[in-house]
Amino acid sequence: MKKLCIFCGSSTNVAQNHLDLGKEVGHLLAEKNIGLVYGAGSTGVMGSLADSVLEKGGKVWGVIPDFMIPWEVCHQNLTDLKITKTMHERKQIMYDYSDGFVALPGGLGTMEELCEILTWRQIGTHEKHVWILNPNGFYDGLMDHFKKLHHERFVSDEHLELIQERNDMNEIVSEFLNGEII
Ligand code: AMP
């Protein structure tokens, strides 16, 4: 089974449309038989995403450091839960398990994970695809900043192309399923 790692927000204090997006994406993953790898939380977009994959009979791999279990309100019904000692170990496992990465709306944790996996691609640590789902312009500011970094020549043409922005999750899923696992 091909697996997508999804980075997204854990905050419960966000507008309903973000939670609804998590749900929509989760249903699509289950329908297309794509496994979800994520940070094992039960709150916010993370929670609605995992719940909706499971609701449709899909599979979810959660990875969480032990010290974050109470803080992130660890999801109790995942297909598989891996508990790590450190955040670095968590991220390494999430990245190793997955065949591609998608950022949905989220906060600082999401930004960190997105930038890290992009920089790992940039230095050749992996060759998996990284997409940003940009519904309703949520990530327009971030995309403008990436373009500014390129314009100011901090980011090369080649590396700007690694940041694949899409408005529709269906597009990401079809590119993911039709692409090679490298
Ligand atoms: P957030 O976008 O801040 O709601 O966080 C989303 C996910 O990112 C959660 O699973 C957090 O545990 C995770 N996260 C938070 N901080 C970091 C960090 N420094 N490095 C990696 N992941 C983090």
Q: For the segment 102-132, what is each residue's pLDDT rounded down to a tens digit?
A: 999 999 999 999 999 999 999 999 999 999 9
Atom of ligand 1 nearest to the CA of 111: 2
Ligand 1 centroid–CA 58 distance in Å is 23
Torsion sign across C-alpha atoms 123, 101, 182, 173:
negative
User: Is 106 close to ligand 1, i.e. is its CB under 6 Å away?
Assistant: yes
The two three-digit tokens of residue 85, written as one number? 């000692």
Q: Which fold has domain 3-178?
A: Rossmann fold (3.40.50)
Ligand 1 centroid–CA 110 distance in Å is 6
Domain residue ranges of the chain, discontinuous segments joined by +: 3-178
Of the chain, the end-to-end C-alpha distance in Å amounts to 15
Query: Which residues does 156 contact at the CB level (< 8 Å), separation at least 6?
Result: 150
Write down the mean pLDDT value for the chain: 96
Ligand 1 centroid–CA 108 distance in Å is 6
> How far is Cα 54 from Cα 71, in angstroms, rounded to an integer?
22
CB atoms within 10 A of CB 75: 21
pLDDT digits (tens, 9 = 90+) for 4-57: 999 999 999 999 999 999 999 999 999 999 999 999 999 999 999 999 999 999
Binned at pLDDT 50, 70 and 90, residue 182 comes out as very low
Q: Whose CA is nearest to atom 10 of ligand 1?
A: 39
Residue position matching structure tokens 């789902």: 133
Q: Where are the beta strands (DSSP E) in the chain?
A: 3-7, 35-38, 60-65, 80-84, 100-103, 129-133, 164-166
Does the pTM of the predicted model rise above 0.85? Answer: yes
The answer to whether the CB of 38 falls within 8 A of the CB of 49 is: yes
pLDDT of residue 180 exceeding 60, the answer is: no
SS3 state at 84: strand
User: Is 113 close to ligand 1, i.e. is its CB under 6 Å away?
Assistant: yes
* Integer angstrom CA distances of residue 170 from 41, 69, 108, 175: 24, 32, 26, 9
User: Is 10 close to ligand 1, i.e. is its CB under 6 Å away?
Assistant: yes
User: Is 11 close to ligand 1, i.e. is its CB under 6 Å away?
Assistant: yes
Strands 129-133 and 3-7: what pairing?
unpaired
Identify the burial level of 29 via C-beta atoms within 10 angstroms of its C-beta, where 0-12 means exposed, 13-18 middle and 19 or more buried.
Answer: buried
